[in-house]
């Protein structure tokens, strides 16, 4: 099964063309959140209760904000998460302030965001391709899928892919689907088996202290009202359709699209146990290079939308502030009508690349 999946991934890079329209650019500066993930110091029982001492010692993330960041008001309800790991699993827990806990979907791989939900996104090597998505509602119904590429870059998503050995659980401080009372919150725990996650990282290596993943969390929240003793989504009077859902995220992307892995948070693995507070997040200079290449990617697609081809002229893209200390300027850009590759090189010969479908890599 794994062999067939990866044959599919390889050929999808050929069969699924890059997008033909302008790629929307985030409307906020890069402000990716950062988190040091410590080791659990005892087995984690996945029951949704967050009762283990390791969870009490782990730090909460910052409260979630609107997915568009400072462009929109703060969310109505508080959302926050924690992370841990051990030799077997990457653990995520979350807490959702919620006066009315409801859910309807019970079949695995339903389109869970039609309910209020929690979503996890994991890009192990930070190249923006081959990443994981998990969605979960208050009934603990899950939808797990693999994204070969972001949708903006032609996708596709592999809906039949399952996270073998996944464990998740929900706990509710209140009553599910009962409009007659007011609830406090719901919490969840998720255990992602590392043996499964490592399938989409070069050389299939398990994480080690100091490694960094790109991770994000999203919460979908609908406005609801009570009709005939049941929750219903509030509808737009003019259209008769439900009002658009709220999108709240740990690390905002600057537009209503969570599938911008370059905007996700950084999770750094620590060899210390939760509560030790010994590790400091390491800022890596390569991330400045990757972000500069991403600016070229955005502008190349904008240029192609106007002129029907890419350009190898940096000045034609209007990019003037891409100089990075220790890296040779200008970057090399190679193009054809339908393809491009931009390359940054340093004096030691290290090179970072980006191509038209957004893939970033180093050689």
pLDDT tens digits for range 133-178: 999 999 999 999 999 999 999 999 999 999 999 999 999 999 999 9
Q: Are 125 and 215 in contact (CB under 8 A)?
A: no
pLDDT at 17 over 60: no
pLDDT at 237 over 50: yes
Q: Determine the structural domain holding residue 246 and report its residue range.
A: 24-273
Phi, psi dihedrals of residue 123, rounded to the nearest 5°: -115, 105
**Domain endpoint, select from 223, 241, 273:** 273
3-class DSSP state for residue 153?
helix
Q: Is 279 a member of any domain?
A: no
pTM attached to this predicted model = 0.93
Across the strands, what pairs with 277? none
**Tens digit of pLDDT for each residue in 277-328?**
889 999 998 999 999 999 999 999 999 999 999 999 999 999 988 999 999 9
Q: Is 17 a member of any domain?
A: no
**Domain endpoint, select from 216, 246, 273:** 273
3-class DSSP state for residue 253?
coil
Q: Is 2 a member of any domain?
A: no
State how far the Cα of 302 lies from the Cα of 153, in Å rounded to an integer: 14
Give pLDDT, residue 286: 93
State how far the Cα of 244 lies from the Cα of 231, in Å rounded to an integer: 16
290 in the same domain as 269 = no
Give pLDDT, residue 18: 47
Q: Which one is predicted more confidently, 8 or 78?
A: 78
Across the strands, what pairs with 189? 93, 169
Q: Is 201 a member of any domain?
A: yes
290 in the same domain as 264 = no
Q: Which one is predicted more confidently, 25 or 6?
A: 25
Q: Which residues of 292-319 are buried (b: 16+ CB within 10 A; e: fewer)?
A: bbbbbbbbbbbbbeeeeebbeebeebee
Length of the chain in residues, anyone? Answer: 363
Domain count, the chain: 2
Query: Can you give the CATH number for the domain in which 75 is found?
Result: 2.60.40.1190
Q: Is 6 a member of any domain?
A: no
DSSP string, 271-305: EEETT---------THHHHHHHHHHHHHHHHHHHH
Q: Is 183 a member of any domain?
A: yes
Q: Is 19 a member of any domain?
A: no
């Amino acid at each position: 099964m794994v062999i067939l999946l990866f044959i599919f991934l390889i050929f999808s890079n050929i069969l699924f063309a890059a997008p033909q329209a302008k790629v929307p650019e985030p409307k906020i500066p890069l402000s990716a959140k950062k988190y040091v993930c410590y080791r659990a110091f005892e087995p984690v029982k996945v029951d949704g209760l967050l009762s283990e001492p390791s969870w009490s010692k782990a730090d909460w993330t910052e409260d979630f904000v609107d997915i568009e960041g400072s462009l929109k008001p703060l969310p109505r309800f508080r959302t926050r998460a924690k992370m841990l790991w051990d030799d077997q699993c990457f653990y995520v827990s979350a807490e959702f302030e919620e006066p009315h806990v409801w859910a309807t979907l019970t079949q695995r791989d339903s389109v869970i965001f039609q309910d209020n939900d929690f979503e996890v996104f994991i890009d192990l090597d930070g190249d923006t391709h081959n990443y994981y998505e998990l969605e979960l509602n208050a009934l603990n119904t899950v939808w797990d899928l693999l994204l070969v590429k972001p949708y903006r870059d032609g996708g596709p998503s592999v809906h039949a892919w399952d996270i073998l050995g996944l464990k998740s659980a929900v706990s509710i401080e209140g009553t599910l689907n009962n409009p007659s009372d007011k609830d406090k919150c719901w919490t969840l725990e998720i255990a992602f088996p590392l043996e499964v996650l490592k399938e989409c990282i070069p050389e299939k290596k398990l994480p080690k202290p100091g490694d960094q993943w790109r991770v994000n969390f999203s919460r979908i929240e609908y406005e609801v009202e009570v009709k005939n003793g049941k929750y219903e989504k509030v509808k737009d009077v003019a259209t008769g359709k439900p009002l658009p859902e709220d999108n709240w995220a740990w690390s905002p992307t600057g537009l209503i699209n969570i599938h911008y892995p370059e905007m996700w948070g950084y999770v750094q693995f620590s060899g210390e146990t939760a509560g030790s507070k010994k590790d400091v997040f390491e800022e890596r200079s390569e991330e400045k290079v990757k972000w500069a290449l991403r600016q070229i990617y955005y502008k190349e697609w904008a240029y192609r939308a106007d002129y029907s081809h890419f350009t190898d002229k940096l000045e034609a893209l209007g990019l003037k502030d891409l100089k990075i200390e220790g890296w040779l300027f200008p970057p090399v850009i190679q193009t054809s009508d339908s393809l491009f590759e931009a390359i940054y090189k340093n004096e030691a010969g290290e090179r970072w690349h980006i191509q038209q479908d957004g893939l970033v890599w180093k050689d």
